[in-house]
Amino acid sequence: MRSIALCFLSLLLVTATAKADEWLEVSGDHFVVYSDQDEVGVLGFTTRLERFHAAMAHLYNKQQNKPGLSNRVAVFVLSSTGKVRKVYGAKNRFMAGVYLPRAGSSVALIPRVRGPSRYEMSGETILYHEYAHHFMAGLNARAYPRWFTEGFAEFFSGAKFREDGSVVLGAPATHRNYELVYAREVPIRKFLDFDGGADEQKFSYDSFYGQSWVLFHYLQMAPERAGELTKYQRELATGHSALDAAENVFGDLQQLDKDLEYYMKRHRLSAMVIDPPYLNVGPINVRKLRKGEAEMLPIMLESKVGVSREEALELVPDAREVAARFPDDPTVLAALAEAEFDAGNDDAAIAAADRAVAIDPKQINAHIQKGYALAHKVESGVLPKESWRDVRAQFIKANGVENDHPVPLVQFYTTYLKEGERPSKNAIAGLEWAMQLAPFDQSLRWLVAQQMVSDERYKEAVETLVPLAYSPHPGEHTDKARKLLNDVEARLERKTEPSADSTKVE
């Protein structure tokens, strides 16, 4: 699936080696950016990202709790869109950026930062769009119609950043201009249905995303529609279907379609300006990567994006070669531990992790990789079943290094499942806290939902399953989540039905 990425690795490795002294890590409260661009450019980009988050947080009155170090989004700036596609292993020539929302390891790949493009989807624009989805997942656990979730993301994707430090939200999404003019329009009723026609076979590109931006912007900004977006969300929350909610709040849908057509033709559209005093952006730190870190960076990137066993076997010799030249760099050794584990070399992974932790006891990735390797040794029968307590002890140790890192919490919980035992109350509580830390991770949400069903906490299970079952970006758990959701809702209905014994005829 991703063999092309490894063919490209040698080129990326040569580039990183040649520029080993030029790679920067620029980090804020919510993002950490890796780039070999000049410091001024990368610092400006990272600052824009932090201001972008702060502007949305202010708009939605969301308390800004500083996430743990590993809960930040790691952004890797590559030299071109072509290299983004090669690292990710994608053949889509229109792909300009990649965003992978995962608990403890959210990753974005974008091409060199040149600022948002006016008429096309730049990597930075895509990052704002996808981070808006990431942000929305933390607002509430409700499932919204596809047009709403994509319109929300498009509304924020065109953010503008003024020299005075203010942020403009809701600026025209000019990168959708050609789509709105030339692409096939989605009929209004189909567009407003829950899935927006996503399940239909399409023979040509349509204007769904552009239409979503127009409708969300219209409802958010047009005075004549003031309050309707809130009313629409309230209708959805009380159980109305997407179409019924739209008709109840927006009125005649054909007239709404005409109003949107007129709205698109306006010469001026309103936008929101969030002034600097309302943007709570923490310090931005710049660090030049150590030479060993810079040379290991391509391997770290491959591991973060994800590799198959075959790809890992091709990757690990390069990791060993870099580690042999930098045997005292804890980050390099932790990356080696990850590469060894991915390649199926448990003992080598444990040895590399131990060396990393001996140098830097807070090297969280080394702690986690050692836990993975120990768990695999027990699963494969190399270690006895009693060794699960040692695996749990390892993940407890990792949790002590970074208390709000979701991975140790999840892995502590799964040790019980792998052992065939019921998870402890503490393990279940930790799992649910992990989902609070990473509500965007679909696999984690699926795990939590299954535990809730097992505990017969059906109402909570429904709330957890709905965003997964009706995600705007369906994944491997979507169909299973819908099936389980239907089953849980049926169980709830049976529990609320009066029994025959409780009815009396007077």
pTM of the model: 0.85
| Higher-scoring residue by pLDDT: 24, 201 | 24
Angle between helices 291-305 and 309-325 (to 10 degrees): 170
Q: What is the 3-state secondary structure (H, E, C) of 12-66?
A: HHHHHHHCCCCCEEEECCCEEEEECCCHHHHHHHHHHHHHHHHHHHHHCCCCCCC
What is the pLDDT confidence band of residue 385, given thresholds at 50, 70 and 90?
A: very high
pLDDT in the model for residue 66: 81
Instruction: Compute the 3-state secondary structure of the chain and give helix, strand, coil in percent, each to the nearest 5.
Output: 60, 5, 30
pLDDT in the model for residue 90: 55
* Alpha carbons 207 and 154: distance in angstroms, whole number: 13
What is the DSSP annotation of 464-476? Answer: HHHHHHT-SS--T
H helices of 222-308, in order, are: 228-237, 242-250, 253-264, 291-305
Segment 269-309, tens digit of pLDDT:
899 999 999 998 989 999 999 999 999 999 998 888 888 89
The gap between the terminal CA atoms of the chain, to the nearest Å, is 70
Segment 90-145, tens digit of pLDDT:
555 555 577 888 899 898 888 876 655 554 557 788 889 889 988 988 887 778 99
Give the bridge partners for 161, in sequence order: 167
* Alpha carbons 240 and 248: distance in angstroms, whole number: 9
Kindly report, as residue ranges, where domains of CATH 1.25.40.10 are found in the chain.
306-439
* Alpha carbons 132 and 155: distance in angstroms, whole number: 9
Cβ count near 351 (within 10 Å): 17
pLDDT in the model for residue 115: 54
Phi and psi at 372, nearest 5°, equal: -60, -45
Give the chain's mean pLDDT.
87
Token pair recorded at residue 445: 């949400």
Residue 261 burial by Cβ neighbours in a 10 Å radius (0-12, 13-18, 19+): exposed
Q: Return the CATH number of the domain spanning residue range 306-439.
A: 1.25.40.10
What separation in angstroms does the CA of 403 have from each of 204, 388, 408, 433, 437?
49, 21, 9, 11, 11
Segment 142-189, tens digit of pLDDT:
789 999 999 999 999 989 999 999 999 998 888 888 788 888 899 999
Token pair recorded at residue 498: 């009066």
Cβ count near 272 (within 10 Å): 16
Mean pLDDT confidence for 365-385 = 98
Tell me the three state secondary structure of residue 84: helix
* Alpha carbons 334 and 370: distance in angstroms, whole number: 9
Q: What is the 3-state secondary structure (H, E, C) of 423-465?
A: CCHHHHHHHHHHHHHCCCCHHHHHHHHHHHHHCCCHHHHHHHH
What is the pLDDT confidence band of residue 487, given thresholds at 50, 70 and 90?
A: very high
What is the pLDDT confidence band of residue 391, given thresholds at 50, 70 and 90?
A: very high
Has residue 451 got a pLDDT over 70? yes
Token pair recorded at residue 8: 């490209």
Has residue 461 got a pLDDT over 90? yes
What is the pLDDT confidence band of residue 43, given thresholds at 50, 70 and 90?
A: very high
Has residue 20 got a pLDDT over 70? no
* Alpha carbons 254 and 187: distance in angstroms, whole number: 10
* Alpha carbons 24 and 254: distance in angstroms, whole number: 53
